[in-house]
């Protein structure tokens, strides 16, 4: 997942309304902003090596709110300079100027976004409730700035448009349609209502996240050693560390996050405890208490529907998907419903296999959701003689990181060197400089691997600084964040196969940012359509299973011996194992997301809607949504993936086809294919249409049948 902090060039170039600004007001604003900026590290240019680094060692949370106010004043001068320009509007003095504006605000948003996502404790939650509504109001003001929109429209409608370079024409269109899609053509009453809605949504999204974080800080206690039966020692050690951190040394605790819950549900023999851990996890945000998210969801959906109608769209889903590759909700639904029945049919087979094992063992149980992972692991052992407990000693976090680096070197010519001259926001965070094949600096990569209080769950990639060439040769700074559980001090951290795939996935996003080679900031790196952005990351997962990585980097943490070929063969043989579960679990979330946002302004009880939708789809009772509605941060913490969770499947269709290109070339390290991937996907960002980029890479449009083949489903 990509967490875009500074969401767009227009959003960064903040206008404080469309009313004229007097010279005195502007001078006072500039003076006040300069005074605050001089003493506030959040606003200053980043200094130090590598083109400047984030000043984590100088940040104090008390500075965030005054920094926001000062950044507004600084951005105001940039926008006013554009709107007061007496020269005829041109691409350079309007569109390019917008791209260059709001530098201080960009830096501030990036710093605050990283801080609130990783250090959300103390006064940070209260600061969020002030900052995000302010930013939402600013975005509305720039989108509703009549003078600015008139200049953009003049360039868009002008004859000189035809003479622009293709990437300039694409950028111009994105800016123009960004204004229109956000209400620039509405009357004053409509603009006012859109602004009110956006500010309220900013507050609701922040409250949703804070509620979820509070529920994820809870633990399930394990009091007796006998209740640990079945769990690998590495998991037990992690539970002991969690208990110690929660004030009960000598006990064991399961943190209420996916990284902690999934392994427990896979291996713990104690069925009652599995159910307890499962219920705590799937009921996050849905407990009828102060952290319950259902009322927030209902209001959010109503407001999104109202705003979409004001903007001329039948539903929020139509508004959200218009600028994606899918273009329409129907196209997204068509792909999902092509896969859904095949995945459900596979689940029935998987459940039958699990029930047979449970019956053979004499367990008087009917497979329930808290049994699925546990018995699926038994089926894996039975069908493929594959016990991932035997694989885990070879899955060292640090060696896997080295494997990611090595593969990136083979594909893109990158090398990674650790540095200690860039400050970090936590001692667990480490930094590498990334060099190209020519030895020149490409950018920086920050790695924040461990769970902590106040850190969002899951794994993601963030850009601290995007690549661009408009304001000079600006090098990207990217990070990968995970939530692995520390084991005993001094011992290597061992992770699961699934976690290793996620590690490679998120690193794929980082490589997308690092490979970027474009001029304009809002076209750089991962600033591509949402249903395309997951393609490079999903493709990067494929390098984990290449023999070159497995033989070099999957080595035993005690002996240093590589993963035995017999285990390698079993992993490959089991590649499509449990795809019914993985696909249905995901699609349940994606389909509920889409249907929620196609429901218009209906009164929605989130729990009832979720239940009734899944019943109508014929969802298997043995599986719950990967992200149940009250904890679905992808779509309710903000709007990044709202009506867009389908995008993982859309991108996976592209991924499966792209992977076949490497297979056809004879190697995942084929230089010619890797160069095409770099030239037409990884380096171009949104400077060209993604569909065009893929055609140049593959030589044709996407073959969606590759997705079915990849998952082991029958092809129509």
Active site residues: 506
Three-class DSSP category at 252:
strand
Cα angle for residues 592, 593, 594 (degrees, 5° grid): 90
Own/partner pairs, 572-576, CB within 8 angstroms, 24+ separation:
572/545, 573/384, 573/386, 574/380, 574/383, 574/384, 574/386, 575/545, 575/712, 576/711, 576/712
Question: Residue 482 phi/psi, 5° resolution?
Answer: -135, 180
Cα angle for residues 419, 420, 425 (degrees, 5° grid): 115
Looking at residue 679, the DSSP 8-state letter turns out to be: I
Angstrom distance (rounded) from CA 160 to CA 142: 25
Q: Write the burial class of residue 548 (CB in 10 Å: 0-12 exposed, 13-18 middle, 19+ buried).
A: middle
Q: Which DSSP string corresponds to 7-31? A: --HHHHS----SS---HHHHHHHHH
What is the distance, to the nearest Å, from the Cα of residue 377 to the centroid of all Cα atoms in its chain?
Answer: 28
Q: Which helix (H) or strand (E) holds 220?
A: strand 219-222
In this structure, what token pair is assigned to residue 610? 């979720």
Question: Residue 173 phi/psi, 5° resolution?
Answer: -60, -40
In this structure, what token pair is assigned to residue 338? 């092509």
Q: How many residues does the chain have?
A: 716
Cα angle for residues 279, 281, 285 (degrees, 5° grid): 100
Question: Residue 393 phi/psi, 5° resolution?
Answer: -60, -15
- The dihedral through the CA atoms of 106, 111, 112, 114 has a sign that is positive
Q: Write the burial class of residue 684 (CB in 10 Å: 0-12 exposed, 13-18 middle, 19+ buried).
A: buried
Which candidate, 567, 579, 502, places its Cα nearest to that of 540?
502
Instruction: Give the residue carrying structure tokens 């999104």.
Output: 304
Instruction: Give the residue carrying structure tokens 């079993």.
Output: 570
């Amino acid at each position: 997942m990509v967490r875009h902090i500074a969401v767009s060039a227009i959003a960064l170039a903040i206008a404080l309304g469309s009313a004229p600004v007097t010279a005195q007001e502007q001078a006072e604003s500039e003076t006040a902003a300069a005074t605050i900026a001089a003493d506030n590290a959040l606003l200053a240019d980043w200094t130090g090596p590598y083109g400047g680094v984030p000043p984590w060692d100088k940040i104090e949370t008390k500075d965030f709110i005054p920094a926001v106010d000062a950044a507004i004043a600084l951005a105001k001068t940039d926008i006013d300079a554009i709107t007061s320009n007496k020269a005829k509007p041109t691409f350079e003095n309007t569109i390019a100027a917008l791209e260059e504006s709001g530098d201080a605000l960009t830096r501030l948003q990036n710093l605050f976004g990283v801080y609130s996502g990783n250090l959300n404790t103390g006064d940070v939650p209260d600061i969020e409730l002030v900052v995000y509504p302010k930013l939402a109001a600013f975005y509305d003001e720039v989108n509703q700035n009549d003078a600015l929109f008139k200049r953009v429209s003049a360039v868009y409608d002008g004859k000189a448009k035809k003479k622009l370079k293709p990437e300039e024409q694409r950028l111009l269109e994105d800016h123009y349609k960004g204004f229109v899609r956000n209400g620039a053509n509405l009357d004053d009453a409509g603009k006012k209502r859109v602004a009110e809605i956006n500010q309220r949504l900013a507050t609701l999204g922040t409250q949703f996240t804070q509620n979820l974080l509070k529920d994820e800080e809870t633990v399930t206690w394990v009091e007796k050693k006998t209740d640990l039966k079945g769990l690998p020692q590495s998991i037990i050690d992690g539970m002991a560390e969690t208990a110690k951190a929660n004030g009960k040394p000598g006990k064991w605790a399961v943190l209420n996050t996916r990284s902690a819950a999934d392994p427990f549900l896979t291996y713990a023999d104690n069925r009652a405890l599995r159910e307890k851990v499962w219920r705590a996890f799937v009921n996050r945000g849905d407990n009828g208490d102060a952290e319950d998210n259902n009322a927030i969801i209902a209001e959010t959906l109503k407001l999104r529907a109202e705003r979409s109608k004001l903007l001329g769209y039948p539903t929020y889903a139509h508004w959200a998907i218009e600028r994606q590759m899918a273009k329409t909700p129907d196209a997204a639904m068509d792909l999902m419903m092509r896969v859904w029945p095949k995945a459900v049919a596979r689940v029935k087979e998987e459940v039958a296999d699990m029930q047979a094992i449970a019956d053979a063992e004499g367990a008087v149980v009917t497979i329930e959701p808290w049994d699925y992972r546990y018995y699926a692991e038994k089926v894996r052992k039975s069908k493929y003689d594959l016990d991932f407990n035997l694989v885990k000693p070879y899955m060292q976090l640090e060696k896997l990181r080295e494997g990611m680096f090595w593969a990136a070197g083979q594909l893109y010519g990158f090398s990674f060197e650790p540095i200690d001259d860039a400050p970090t926001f936590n001692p667990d965070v480490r930094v590498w400089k990334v060099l190209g094949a020519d030895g020149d600096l490409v950018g920086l990569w920050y790695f924040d691997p461990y769970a902590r209080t106040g850190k969002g769950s899951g794994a993601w990639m963030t850009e601290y600084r995007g690549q661009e060439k408009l304001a000079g040769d600006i090098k990207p700074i990217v990070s990968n964040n995970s939530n692995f559980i520390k084991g005993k001090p001094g011992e290597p951290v061992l992770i699961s196969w699934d976690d290793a795939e996620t590690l490679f996935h998120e690193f794929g996003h980082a490589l997308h940012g690092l490979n970027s080679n474009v001029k304009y900031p809002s076209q750089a790196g991962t600033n591509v359509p949402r249903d395309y952005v997951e393609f490079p990351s999903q493709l990067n997962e494929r390098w984990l299973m290449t023999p070159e990585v497995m033989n070099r980097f999957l080595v035993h943490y005690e002996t240093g011996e590589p993963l035995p070929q017999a285990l390698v063969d079993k992993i490959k043989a089991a590649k499509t194992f449990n795809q019914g579960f993985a696909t249905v679990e995901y699609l349940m979330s994606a389909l509920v997301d889409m249907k929620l946002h196609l429901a218009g302004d209906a009164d929605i009880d989130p729990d009832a809607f979720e239940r009734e939708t899944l019943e109508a789809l014929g969802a298997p009772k043995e599986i719950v949504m990967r992200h149940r509605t009250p904890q679905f941060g992808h779509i309710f913490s903000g709007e990044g993936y709202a009506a867009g969770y389908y995008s993982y499947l859309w991108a996976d269709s592209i991924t499966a086809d792209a992977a076949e290109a490497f297979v056809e070339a004879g190697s995942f390290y084929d230089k010619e294919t890797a160069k095409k991937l770099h030239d037409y996907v990884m380096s171009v960002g949104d400077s060209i249409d993604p569909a065009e980029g893929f055609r140049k890479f593959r030589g044709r449009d996407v073959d969606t049948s590759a997705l079915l083949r990849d998952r082991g489903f029958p092809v129509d």
